[in-house]
Amino acid sequence: MVTCTVIHPNTGIGFELAAQLLAKGNYHVLLACRSPDKGYAALQRLQSRDLPGTVCFTHLDVTDDASIHAAASQVEKDYGRLDVLVNNAAIGRAQEDDLRKKMRECFDTNATGPAILGYAFEELLRKSDYPLKRIVNVSSGAGSIGRMFDPNRKAVTHYGRTIHYQASKAALSMVTAQQALDFAPHGVKVLCWNPGFTVSELGPFNKVEHGAKPTEEAVRPLVEIIEGGRDGEAGVFLSEDGKSYPW
């Protein structure tokens, strides 16, 4: 069985990814969630589908270093290694009104957390003998600096000024690039992927009526990336529909 940890699996892309991996039958999925109530609710929903893979819950808060290291220790104790880590935790609308606090809040979840996660789980990934071992960071096209001045890009203006979100996702690209270099000597790939505008709880406009695509459709390319389908495109910001974005 391929042991895969999915961060923030209780809704949207994370939940659908867990479901699609479990449907394949050769995955053991660890649902890593900050809220035990939401995590166990997701676990029960997945178990009720009677999918052939196996699934369990583990507590993990990407903004809490002690929680991250405790989760890594638990995975070490239970499995001795990790094959795949999918970092899907993200916030789009910070709760704070002050810009400095907004920046800090978004960076903590969207960039700093994934950086600490990667290094906390590095040794477990190195111990895996799975040939496709990897980290996949779920990002956003809003973090592409190269697209900012593209006159043909479709700017999402629903949320007003979102520099806190955009900057944090741009930072996630650098986290991905640096860890890709750090982990490559040990056979661990680190990739960054943009799902496109998808139904989720990221914000009030991530709904079908506003043009967001269903999670079932959005997640299929992510499964392909997890299973090595785009490994020939190393060093790029992977996007939906087989495309890529400039960093």
> pLDDT tens digits for 120-160?
999 999 999 999 999 999 999 889 998 888 877 665 544 45
Closest CA to 86 of 225, 196, 207, 210: 225
The residue from 165, 207, 213, 245 that is catalytic is 165
Spatial CB neighbours of 174, under 8 Å, sequence gap ≥ 6: none
Cβ 8 vs Cβ 88: under 8 Å: yes
The residue from 133, 169, 189, 245 that is catalytic is 169
Full-model pTM: 0.92
Give the Å distances, CA to CA, from 59 to 73, 82, 123, 154, 247.
Answer: 12, 16, 19, 37, 32
Domains of the chain: 2-245 (3.40.50.720)
Q: How far apart, in whole angstroms, are the C-alpha atoms of residue 80 and residue 179?
A: 21
165 counts as catalytic:
yes
Cβ 131 vs Cβ 188: under 8 Å: no
Cβ 105 vs Cβ 164: under 8 Å: yes
Cβ 193 vs Cβ 225: under 8 Å: yes
Q: Tell me what pLDDT residue 159 has.
A: 47
Q: CB-based burial of residue 3 (10 Å sphere; 0-12 exposed, 13-18 middle, 19+ buried)? A: buried
Q: How far apart, in whole angstroms, are the C-alpha atoms of residue 69 and residue 32?
A: 13
Helix (H, G, I), strand (E, B) or coil at 14: helix
Percent of the chain with pLDDT over 90: 69
Q: Tell me what pLDDT residue 158 has.
A: 47
> pLDDT tens digits for 59-72?
999 999 999 999 99
24 counts as catalytic:
no
